[in-house]
Amino acid sequence: MKLYIGVDLGGTNIGAGIVDEEGNILIKDEVPTGASRPFEEVIEDMAALIKDVIEQGGYTISDIESIGIGSPGSIDKEQGKVVFANNLGWKHAPVCKELQKHIDLPVYLENDANVAGLAEAISGACKGVQNSVTITLGTGVGSGIIIEGKPYSGSHGVGAELGHIIVQVGGVQCGCGNKGCLEQYASATALIREGKRVAKSNPDSLIGKSVGGDLDKITAKVVIDAAKAGDEAALEVFDNYIYYLAMGIVTIVNAFDPSVIAIGGGVSRAGDFLLDAVKKKVDEHIFYKDIPYADIRLSQLGNDAGIIGAAMLGRL
Amino acid sequence: MKLYIGVDLGGTNIGAGIVDEEGNILIKDEVPTGASRPFEEVIEDMAALIKDVIEQGGYTISDIESIGIGSPGSIDKEQGKVVFANNLGWKHAPVCKELQKHIDLPVYLENDANVAGLAEAISGACKGVQNSVTITLGTGVGSGIIIEGKPYSGSHGVGAELGHIIVQVGGVQCGCGNKGCLEQYASATALIREGKRVAKSNPDSLIGKSVGGDLDKITAKVVIDAAKAGDEAALEVFDNYIYYLAMGIVTIVNAFDPSVIAIGGGVSRAGDFLLDAVKKKVDEHIFYKDIPYADIRLSQLGNDAGIIGAAMLGRL
């Protein structure tokens, strides 16, 4: 059984694990990123973490095939560089080369959302299909596009940003500079924003009550739980959320026509309540009514997707 | 030099030509489709046309490597079937098998917009790049997506329908059943619809004047020519058209990040007047400001793209 190291490089923590060729994590650990430090120091800590995980597992470097890193931001795969990552504060950072100063193994680099999509494709919700899209509904909307079994990130490493497909020209202002991006309607942040809005105008709503009137405590879960309980204001927010999410998914079907679309991220913890509502709405709005289209599923790997997918870059 | 037959199967005419391996048409001809007839009769005429073109060129069947067909509708490439094509009235039509009853050559089948994209990728505006998207601004908005040099049409043959990405949730009703599809804002039909609307409310506009007040004579060219001449009402329509087209292109960049986006179809005959306006607007709205993104160009092959791209299916 071949073994691979996967590194999930985040703004807060760096996770690393040993993953077998079927996508199972054998052992993992994490350290704080300390992203404000010089880039070289962060990579030094990453190297130490990797060595530590290998030792904890009772292995040596020679047991490992390669290291894969999932990083936020736009990536130059060929050069092994993070071109630009806002929440690391990095520009043109030669991550692979720097890590190889500490560990003599092949190092692969890919965007974190693409890596999570790859993990779902190899051992999660999209296992066994060639074309899939994993969308992550969290603070933003991330996406990993897998085409013919490989992460697709376009010609300049700026693609697969499905959170920034424009679904409402002239709509809600997005951090990217445009208006009406999917992210502004389908992220947890959007759900919270709309939950706050209706809780304010409907003081009797369960949304506000369940946080004791402290609207800053409203989370995506609060809004969804209130909708599950049948609260009218929460259902209005939830239905509108589902409508936009479904329109985003219809757009993904019409553009990419994958075999599976997996939904992950914090909002996906709503489970079948979310999934059933989305599937129903997509089905009502699909273009070719009598041709099969993507099966919509919940992601399966949660936070482990980052380590698994990064490790599997070495298996491609 | 290897030779290939390309067939451009349309609702009105069937075109066929002999194409060399560099994508040059050596000879071509066409016959009416007569799409209302039984499917087998249409294919019989297609076979006769192919044989005729081969003879006109002074060749024999044995000089030809393969036949490629570009067809409207959704395609099952593996089975060589047109699954559903509205303007041919075909459902589950086994085109490749039927044609092989008449001509003993390998036959490939692909969606016509994907084929046009392939032609531009091989010998047109997208020559030399691996990832490109060709969008066709005509009665509708068609698209051909090329990924790693091959047409991408997804898992069920229903993808690459970028005319039906939703850019305005709840917007203008589309024939596909949804509201707010790009096609409703960026097609020639949309430009004509909006041209008529403003000509009606602005009787002094050059749009109405240039058709002698007969608003049914308004074409995309009429609207664009009036905008070129500086007519205020026409410029309002044109600017709004460019805005939506640019938002569609930004979405394509954020989703696919191709090297080149080529713009074809009737509206693209407006040339640099259109191209310069679109490029300016996309540049204002692009996500990653300091990373290169797709070069936007005019398509080069016009109506020949159908025959060239279909022929080149045999070269993949």
Residue A278 φ/ψ region, left for φ over 0, alpha for ψ in the -120 to 50 degree band, beta for the rest: alpha
**Which ranges constitute the DSSP H helices of chain A?**
39-56, 95-100, 112-123, 183-186, 188-201, 206-209, 220-228, 232-256, 272-285, 305-312
Which of B290, B278, B220 shows the shortest CA–CA distance to B252?
B278
Q: For A84-117, what is each residue's pLDDT tens digit? A: 888 799 999 999 999 999 999 999 999 999 999 9
Task: Give the length of chain A.
Answer: 316
Q: For A274-285, what is each residue's pLDDT tens digit? A: 999 999 999 999
Instruction: Using a CB–CB cutoff of 8 Å, tell me whether A131 touches chain B.
Output: yes
Q: Name the segment(s) of chain B with CATH classification 3.30.420.40.
A: 3-122+304-315, 128-299
User: Half-sphere exposure of A185 toward its Cβ, with a 13 Å CA cutoff?
Assistant: 26
Instruction: Sort out which chain B residues have CB atoms less than 8 A from A74's CB and list them.
Output: 288, 291
Q: What is the mean pLDDT of residues B15-22?
A: 97
Min distance B113 CA to chain A CA atoms (Å): 13
Cβ contact, residue pair B154, A243, below 8 Å:
no
Which of B146, B150, B147, B178 shows the shortest CA–CA distance to B165?
B178
Q: What does the buried/exposed string (b/e) look like for B130-146 if buried means 16 or more CB atoms within 10 Å of the residue's CB?
A: ebbbbbbbbebbbbbbb
Name the residue in chain A with its Cα closest to that of B143.
Answer: A255
Architecture of domain A3-122+304-315: 2-Layer Sandwich (3.30)
Q: Chain B interface, mutation test: which of A129, A256, A286, most B Cβ atoms within 10 Å?
A: A256
CATH of domain B128-299: 3.30.420.40
Q: What is the pLDDT of residue A205?
A: 96
Residue A261 — pLDDT band, cuts 50, 70, 90?
A: very high
Is residue A291's pLDDT more than 90?
A: no
**Closest CB from A166, A285, A289 relative to B250:** A166
Residue B273 — pLDDT band, cuts 50, 70, 90?
A: very high
Q: What is the pLDDT of residue B291?
A: 85
Instruction: Using a CB–CB cutoff of 8 Å, tell me whether B250 touches chain A.
Output: yes
Residue A73 — pLDDT band, cuts 50, 70, 90?
A: confident
Q: Which of A25-39, A176-190, B278-292 has the lowest mean pLDDT?
A: B278-292
Angle (nearest 5°) at CA A278 between A275 and A281: 150
Q: For A17-69, what is each residue's pLDDT tens digit? A: 999 999 999 999 999 999 999 999 999 999 999 999 999 999 999 999 999 99
**Closest CB from A164, A289, A291 relative to B254:** A164
Name the residue in chain B with its Cα closest to that of A75.
Answer: B291
A–B interface: beta-carbon pairs under 8 A: 157
Q: What is the mean pLDDT of residues A158-162?
A: 85
Is residue A169's pLDDT more than 80?
A: yes
**Closest CB from B158, B288, B291 relative to A257:** B158
Instruction: Using a CB–CB cutoff of 8 Å, tell me whether B293 touches chain A.
Output: yes
Q: Name the segment(s) of chain A with CATH classification 3.30.420.40.
A: 3-122+304-315, 127-300
Q: Chain A interface, mutation test: which of B129, B169, B281, most A Cβ atoms within 10 Å?
A: B169
Residue A287 — pLDDT band, cuts 50, 70, 90?
A: confident
CB atoms within 10 A of CB A174: 19
Top-level CATH class of A127-300? alpha beta
Q: What is the pLDDT of residue A158?
A: 77
Q: For B120-163, what is each residue's pLDDT tens digit? A: 999 999 999 999 999 999 999 999 999 999 999 899 877 789 99
**Which ranges constitute the DSSP H helices of chain B?**
39-56, 95-100, 112-123, 183-186, 188-201, 206-209, 220-228, 232-256, 272-285, 305-312
Q: For A123-134, what is each residue's pLDDT tens digit? A: 999 999 999 999
Instruction: Sort out which chain A residues have CB atoms less than 8 A from B185's CB and list them.
Output: 169
Instruction: Using a CB–CB cutoff of 8 Å, tell me whether A290 touches chain B.
Output: yes
Residue A264 — pLDDT band, cuts 50, 70, 90?
A: very high
Name the residue in chain A with its Cα closest to that of B151.
Answer: A256
Q: Which residues in chain A (210-239) have CB-CB distances under 8 A to chain B? A: none
Is residue A159's pLDDT more than 90?
A: no
Name the residue in chain B with its Cα closest to that of A83.
Answer: B291
Q: Which of A5-19, A283-297, B90-104, B195-209 has the lowest mean pLDDT?
A: A283-297
Q: What is the pLDDT of residue B287?
A: 82
d(CA B217, CA B131): 39
Q: In DSSP terms, which residues pair with B297 in a beta bridge?
A: B262
Cβ contact, residue pair B74, A288, below 8 Å:
yes
Q: Note every long-range contact of B144-147, with CB atoms under 8 Å and residues 24 or more positions apart, other chains counting.
A: B144/B111, B144/B113, B144/B114, B144/B115, B144/B116, B144/B117, B144/B118, B144/B120, B144/B309, B145/B114, B145/B117, B145/B256, B145/B258, B146/B117, B146/B118, B146/B121, B146/B258, B147/A147, B147/A152, B147/B256
Question: Could you tell me the two tokens for B290?
Answer: 């300091």
Q: Which residues in chain A (266-285) have CB-CB distances under 8 A to chain B? A: 285
Q: What is the pLDDT of residue A84?
A: 87
Residues of chain A above pLDDT 70, percent: 100
At a CB cut-off of 8 Å and minimum separation 6, what does A203 contact? none
Cβ contact, residue pair B288, A178, below 8 Å:
no
CB atoms within 10 A of CB B99: 21
Indicate if ipTM > 0.85: yes
Instruction: Sort out which chain B residues have CB atoms less than 8 A from A72's CB and list them.
Output: none
Q: What is the pLDDT of residue B224?
A: 98
- Distances in whole angstroms, Cα of residue B22 to Cα of each of A95, B8, B67: 41, 18, 16
Q: What is the pLDDT of residue A160?
A: 86
Q: For A51-60, what is each residue's pLDDT tens digit? A: 999 999 999 9
Instruction: Sort out which chain B residues have CB atoms less than 8 A from A84's CB and list them.
Output: 288, 290-291
Q: What is the pLDDT of residue A312?
A: 98
